[in-house]
Amino acid sequence: MAGKELSKLVAFVKGTQFDLVEYLQRERYGSARLENFSSGLELISQKLHMGTLQSRLDADFLLAHMCSVKFKEWIVVLATLLRRSEVLFDLFRHDFRLWKAYGTTLQSHPAFAEYQDLLEELEEKLLSVANMEEK
C-alpha cells in the first residue's frame, strides 16, 4: 500500500463506498502491511504532499480508518505526518516498546529532523504520565 497513490485510494473509497475497513482487516499481513516504518514515513510524506489541504484531509480519512482497525504501523505514520500528538500519545503510553522504536527511528534519520518538536512534545507528555504513575 505504501507504494500506491494514497490520495487515489481515498478518492476510490469515497466514490465507490468500497469497504476499506474490511479490506484492511483482510490484508493486515498482506498488501496493506507496512514493511518498514522509516521508508514508509518518507514515501507517504512524498506521496501525500502534506502542505495541501486535500492531502491533509486524505491523511485524516485514512487515519480514521486505520484507527478503527487498530493498524498501529499506519496509525503512527499518518499521525506523525499530521502531527497528531494526541493519537501518538494514546498509542505510546500503552506500548512503551513502540515508543522507544519510534523515538530511535526519528532521531537516527536526518530526513526526520522536522519531527523533533513532535518527538520532544511526546517525550514530555509520556514522562509526565510515567512520573504520575510512580507516585
* 72-113 residue pLDDT tens: 989 999 999 999 999 999 999 999 899 999 999 999 989 899
Strand ranges inside the chain, DSSP E: none
Does residue 69 contact residue 28 with C-beta atoms inside 8 Å? yes
pTM over 0.95: no
* 38-66 residue pLDDT tens: 888 888 887 777 778 888 898 899 999 99
Please report how many Cα atoms fall inside a 13 Å half-sphere around the Cα of residue 122, on the Cβ side: 26
Q: In this model, does residue 2 exceed pLDDT 70?
A: no
Long-range contacts of 33-38 (CB under 8 A, 24+ apart): 33/1, 33/73, 34/1, 34/2, 34/73, 34/74, 34/77, 35/2, 37/73, 37/76, 37/77, 37/101, 37/102, 37/105, 38/105, 38/109, 38/112
Instruction: Give the span between the Cα atoms of 123 and 42, in whole angstroms.
Output: 22
pLDDT of residue 6: 74
Q: How confident is the model at residue 3 (pLDDT cuts 50, 70, 90)?
A: very low
Read off the amino acid at residue 79: A
* Mean pLDDT score of the chain: 86
